[in-house]
Amino acid sequence: MTGIEITSVNRQVKDISQEIYAAKLQRDEQQAKSVNENKNSGLQNAIAGKLSDKSGVNTAFSDTAATLSISALGAEELEKVRDSWNNHPVSALYKDISAAKNAEGLYKIGGASFNDEELSAARDLITGVGSKLKNGYLSYRDYAKMEVAQKVVDDLASKNFREDQAKVISRAMKDFNDNLLNTQYRMLSNKEIRANDDTLSGKYFGIEVHVPEEVRKSVNEYASTDIATDRDLIANLRDNIRNTDISNKNAVKKLMASYEDMIKPAYNAQYPAQLKSNVDDAISRDENDLMKLIDFSDKWKR
């Protein structure tokens, strides 16, 4: 028989199953990314009254490969298998789940190793920023906050963690934001909705949600929402933030001024002429929320 000798067949099978499990986690993350893209398209379909769950069902994963002969493994391949043991997905950095240590006494998450102190600090960073984000219907303000949150996490991770850890932490924050999009998608999938055909507000807030008769406060069956639907405006807001050095006070001032210029047309379309003062209030609230996130960088200490 070729290959290297291993004393325990049970350990061999366990090692291989761990490699398969790690591969499954990586595959699931890729599928989630693909589903997110489908769901973004689904938001547009919702406006046309065709929103439906297109996420599909994950293909069952088989551990049949664990029965393959271990004797065919070389030393290098076996080392890769053992290295993948207890490799947790990046969601372990923000979800309240237990993470097991590997043989070296470290937590392996997304391919990077963390000790107890590093894991605690990484979780504190992501959950601290994430607690300031909205889990529900997403307005333009919410999309802007998500991008600022990503910038804050990227910056603090690069300054306070090893390079491989920082990359995993950044991926975890992106994963967190993607889950916020998933939540909105699920909520809309379970609601009766229609397109907002108002010539002004419909461009920016294109979805209206049905209100059950028992809680309806007006004769209107559908209520307008602040759900952001102008994909170009969302992209421009996020790109503007992504290209700003939030550690530079002058750059942040310019960011707030440009944010006001970009968001004002949407708010002008949303509020009636007699409520134009609400536009300034809305912009002020947005800027305060964005600044609270940016200021998080000064307050967070590892």
Sheet architecture: strand order including 222-224: 193-195, 207-210, 222-224
Smallest CA-to-CA distance from 269 within 198, 181, 185, 164 is with: 198
Task: Give Cβ neighbours of residue 284 (< 8 Å, ≥ 6 apart).
Answer: none
Other Cβ atoms less than 10 A from the Cβ of 111: the count is 16
Strand partners, 208: 194, 224
Smallest CA-to-CA distance from 246 within 177, 157, 151, 167 is with: 151
Orientation of helix 116-130 relative to helix 163-189, angle to 10°: 40
Q: Counting beta carbons within 10 angstroms of the beta carbon of residue 205, is it exposed (0 to 12), middle (13 to 18) or buried (19 or more)?
A: buried
- Residue ranges of domains in the chain: 1-85, 89-299
Query: What stretch of H or E contains 61?
Result: none
Rg (Cα) of the chain, in Å, rounded? 24
Strand partners, 107: 114
What phi and psi values does residue 117 have, to the nearest 5 degrees?
A: -65, -40
List per-residue pLDDT tens for the chain, 302 residues long: 444 343 343 444 344 445 544 555 566 566 655 555 555 555 555 444 433 333 333 333 333 333 344 445 555 665 555 555 568 999 999 998 788 888 889 999 999 999 999 999 999 999 999 999 999 999 999 999 999 999 999 999 999 999 999 999 999 999 999 999 999 999 999 899 999 999 989 999 999 999 887 777 777 889 889 999 999 999 999 999 999 999 999 999 999 999 999 999 999 999 877 677 889 999 999 999 999 999 998 889 88
With tokens 């964005």, the residue in question is 290
Task: Give Cβ neighbours of residue 70 (< 8 Å, ≥ 6 apart).
Answer: 3, 6, 9, 12, 13, 15, 16
pLDDT of residue 5: 40
Strand partners, 222: 210
With tokens 């920082």, the residue in question is 166
Query: What is the rounded distance in angstroms from the CA atom of residue 165 to the CA atom of residue 114?
Result: 8
Query: What is the rounded distance in angstroms from the CA atom of residue 93 to the CA atom of residue 109?
Result: 8
What's at 145, amino acid-wise? K
* Token pair for 100: 């097991």
Strand partners, 194: 208
